[in-house]
Amino acid sequence: MSDPAAAPPPGPAPRFERQARFAPLGVAGQQRLAERRVLIVGCGALGGVLAQWLTRAGVGELVLVDRDVVEETNLPRQVLFTEEHAAAGAPKVTAAAETLASIGGPTRITPHAIHLNADQLLELGAGVDLILDGTDNMATRYLVNDYAVREGVPWIYAGVVSSGGLVLSVQPGEGPCLRCVFPDPPPPGALPTCDTAGVLGPAVGAIASMQAGLALRQLSGAEPASPALIDLDVWSGSARRLSVPRAPACPCCAERRFEFLEGATADDAVSLCGRNTVQVLPPPGAPAPAAELVAANLRAAGIEVLQAGPLLRFTADGNRVTLFPDGRALVEGTEDTSKARAVVARWVGA
């Protein structure tokens, strides 16, 4: 009779057999992936590719955070969404979770249709093994960098515009953080954006796939890659790996100042990249809007209201407004934050 203690460990599920044959990952690494929990901030372009690869790889749980809704202009580069999602104006996390569920496999998907602020990051970041940057704005990236360095959680930064982008794996206490490379956020208009320079879908795919590969290495328990800023361009076919040291005077990882996490609160209205849309946040501590009452008041004023699941949509003063259950509003058709605030205050309430 054979000794059970001498039996070899179980192999991977047939679904992951070929992946586990990759020697640096192996069976043990595949089992570790199944135990890992990852926070993906933003599930549009970069975040959609990240979520798809990690789901297909068998990572245990993905916590998805996104504040936006799907629109038609997303479809060329945001792989989790369909025309039906765009026509319905579905929240991106809801549409993403639906598509990821259709892939099957063991990965648990936990979506949050919220604007990520410091308090929510403290809650959602607790207990995660890795944070992945799928966002499109620097303010959120500096917030995540502060949290990751303060709490000792690895994270991987990525940004893409035009035909290329950058990736940086941040290992708190061991290598450079985002502020070692970019000490302060650039002033508005200083960098090209998807508005001014456009963006190619293959560039998104290349940058996010590099991110995902580094993420799998990290999550499998392998030694992280040496610190470097990776620069890829799919149009020129170029790739560069730039060594970057920790900055001795870095305000974040050297001086331990976390002003983006602990300092001033975010602006209550912000123009979204490439959207001709402004997001307006509710006042701090404000109760959730009474959707039925808001809808009734709008209809009494002669405004047509569409209730799409938990969302309210209406057009007023020439702007299309989407009201979320948490009181956030997206005001389409303007980049003027003052006008957007006025529209929300007039038709929803301050």
Q: Give the model confidence (pLDDT) of 76-122 as tens digits.
A: 999 999 999 999 989 999 999 999 999 999 999 999 998 888 999 99
* pLDDT-based confidence at residue 196 (cuts at 50, 70, 90): low
Q: Say how far apart CA 211 and CA 205 lie, in whole Å.
A: 10
User: How far is it, in rounded angstroms, from Cα 90 to Cα 97?
Assistant: 11
End-to-end Cα spacing for the chain? 76
Over residues 38-52, the mean pLDDT reads: 97
Identify the burial level of 23 via C-beta atoms within 10 angstroms of its C-beta, where 0-12 means exposed, 13-18 middle and 19 or more buried: exposed
pLDDT band at 138 (very low <50, low <70, confident <90, very high): confident
Tell me the pTM. Answer: 0.83
Q: Of 118-122, 207-211, 265-269, which range is least confident? A: 265-269
| Residue, of 99 and 274, whose pLDDT is higher | 99
Q: Which residue has the higher pLDDT, 266 or 63?
A: 63
Q: Which of 194, 250, 252, 253 is catalytic?
A: 194
- Does 141 have pLDDT greater than 80? yes
Residue 166's pLDDT band (cuts 50, 70, 90): very high
Average pLDDT, the chain: 89
Q: Which residue has the higher pLDDT, 191 or 27?
A: 27
Nearest of 303, 288, 230, 306 to residue 114 by alpha carbon? 288
How large a percentage of the chain has pLDDT more than 70? 91
- Per the listing, tokens 């001709």 go with 276
189 pLDDT higher than 80: no
Domains of the chain by start residue, with CATH: 10-262 (3.40.50.720), 269-347 (3.30.310)
| 342, pLDDT greater than 80 | no
Report yes or no: 131 and 153 within 8 Å, Cβ to Cβ: yes
pLDDT at 272: 76
Q: Above 60 in pLDDT, residue 3? A: no
Q: What's residue 294's pLDDT?
A: 86
Residue 14 in this model has a pLDDT that exceeds 50: yes
**CA-wise closest residue to 283 among 328, 347, 320, 324:** 328
In the prediction, which pLDDT does 202 show? 97
Range 186-195 average pLDDT: 65
* Max Cα distance, the chain (Å): 82
The question of whether 180 is a catalytic residue gets the answer no
> What's residue 297's pLDDT?
84
Q: Model confidence at 1, in pLDDT bands (50, 70, 90)? A: very low
Residue 337 confidence (pLDDT):
82
- Show the tokens assigned to 134: 């799928």
- Degrees (nearest 5) of the Cα angle 134, 51, 83? 90
Residue 159 contacts residue 229 (beta carbons within 8 Å): no
- Planar angle of CA 298, 331, 64, nearest 5 degrees: 110
Give me the mean pLDDT over the 265-276 stretch.
69
**Residues 189-210: what's their mean pLDDT?**
83
pLDDT digits (tens, 9 = 90+) for 281-320: 886 666 778 888 888 888 888 899 998 878 889 998 899 9
Confidence of residue 16 (pLDDT cuts 50, 70, 90): very high
Is 159 in contact with 165 (CB distance < 8 Å)? Answer: yes
**Please, is 268 exposed, middle or buried when counting C-beta atoms within 10 Å of its C-beta (0-12, 13-18, 19+)?**
middle
pLDDT value of residue 176? 97
CA distance 326 to 113: 9
